[in-house]
Structure 1
């Protein structure tokens, strides 16, 4: 693995975003490896609960636009084949978050400092979220000219409600840890990163102490009632962006990044 590091602490499997020099900006390795690391721990009988955390100064700053600028150069030529190619790319990227959400084992996100864009998509797919007092969250896609298509628009209404989701999505503004707690995005705010990790491990151990089949049944029941139209909604936003992004301000951003690479 080049993007992730896995550590086991008792019956708890920690998945660390491990690109600290780049504040865990999500390059292509992230999207390829995320479903693999989740499935690896899901298949590990010694692991009863998963934790998602980030090495370095930030949990994640979101999508690495510089990396994707080169990967999305094909958008500069508008045709049906490229729209189909983009749709496939979006669905591939959605897969990792879907695998985390659908994992049979409970998952906890432990967030410190920045949790931006794709970082928020990631933690929305977890079952429970804790954060440190310095955490900042943002659904920032509107500011770069795209519709959030990795699951936040589908998952957040069930976590923080429709009104809060619309406000975050339509403004792209940052919110702090206390606001995230009041909204219900996180269920605990810890004073610092060290306390965050201790409290998250404690919670994970408490969960792991229960019968595995009962935990699986609880997740299945909760997810089933929530996810009836999730797949259709994710397909829909992927299809929308596949057509829309070739005629948007995001295209200008991609063009600029491509020129900067040369």
Structure 2
């Protein structure tokens, strides 16, 4: 891989490299397990829109640095931003601010789905919560044998609101989606392949990344305008449903997310213990 262009060289949470007509975007954190903090949400759409505007980039591989794709949302980094919204009671100002915050994060994830360039997510290790939201917006998903996936928001008293509930139904079917979203359970790479969350599973991370690069190169060798046209036509199959679902869940969470159960989930996370939910 070659060094990134200057326009994308001052990044904190992502690294961009190019080889021929393929760009590779790597999650860097800086939170543990490539957790997704403010820098990630700001940089993600910038990076993908810049690559999409580059006529020399015909396919993109997205992967994580180190052993894991992503632990998901970086709660310690994000909670200070949300404290005012979540402690504002039923007042319209804080609720409106939180609605705008959710929709900003949604737009970051949706950038992957909306660009014209195909995106291949290569997942090794853990892919949790926001990580699943991100790979759901990719066009193709591959995994290493050690990969594990979890739509875990229910475990922290949150309705997943960044795209998993809107996009995964078309990928894995409603039954599997409801099971994962209601339980928050972890699934391994073998189960992910059986239900269609990933196309193929490879022995280790090196084999995974090599396969993702080879697939991206195969796509990049095809007529670029036709490939982009295929993505546009396929996106139209679910576009209206996804957009409506994202609007609905952002309004739902801006109204109903603050709860005693959310506070308990946060406290339990900090204290490394099981939460005790009361439905309040």
Give TM-score, length-normalised by structure 2. 0.89
- Larger CA deviation: 12-21 vs 76-85: 12-21
Select 1:87's aligned residue among 99, 108, 114: 99
Q: Which residue in the other structure is 2:137 paired with?
A: 125
Q: Which residue in the other structure is 1:68 paired with?
A: 78
Q: Which residue in the other structure is 1:215 paired with?
A: 227
User: Cα deviation per residue 1:198-245 (whole Å; 9 max; x = unaligned)?
Assistant: 111000000000001110111111110121222111010000000111
User: Cα deviation per residue 1:1-44 (whole Å; 9 max; x = unaligned)?
Assistant: 11010011211101110126611000011111100000111111
CA contact (8 A) 1:73 1:254 kept: no
- Larger CA deviation: 158-167 vs 7-16: 7-16
Q: Which residue in the other structure is 1:47 paired with?
A: 57
TM alignment of 1:1-262, pairs within 5 A: 1-19=11-29, 22-74=32-84, 75-78=86-89, 79-253=91-265
Task: Give the deviation of 1:92 after TM superposition.
Answer: 0.2
Q: Which residue in the other structure is 2:4 paired with?
A: none
CA contact (8 A) 1:63 1:117 kept: yes
Task: Give the deviation of 1:257 after TM superposition.
Answer: 8.3
CA contact (8 A) 1:73 1:255 kept: no
CA contact (8 A) 1:4 1:17 kept: yes
User: In 2, Cα distance between the equivalents of 1:138 and 1:194?
Assistant: 23
CA contact (8 A) 2:29 2:37 kept: no
Q: Which has the higher contact order (CA 8 A, sep 6+)?
A: 1
CA contact (8 A) 2:59 2:220 kept: yes
Q: Secondary structure at 1:51's aligned position in 2?
A: strand
Runs (4+) off by over 3 Å = 251-258
Q: Secondary structure at 1:72's aligned position in 2?
A: helix
Q: Paired residues, what number?
A: 259
Structure 1: give runs of 5+ residues left out of the alignment: none
Structure 2: give runs of 5+ residues left out of the alignment: 1-10, 271-280
Q: Secondary structure at 2:56's aligned position in 1?
A: coil
Provide closer, same or farther for how the CA distance between residues 207 and 142 of structure 1 changes in structure 2, counting only shifts above 3 A: same
Give TM-score, length-normalised by structure 1. 0.95
User: In 2, Cα distance between the equivalents of 1:110 and 1:62?
Assistant: 15
User: In 1, Cα distance between the equivalents of 2:30 and 2:202?
Assistant: 21
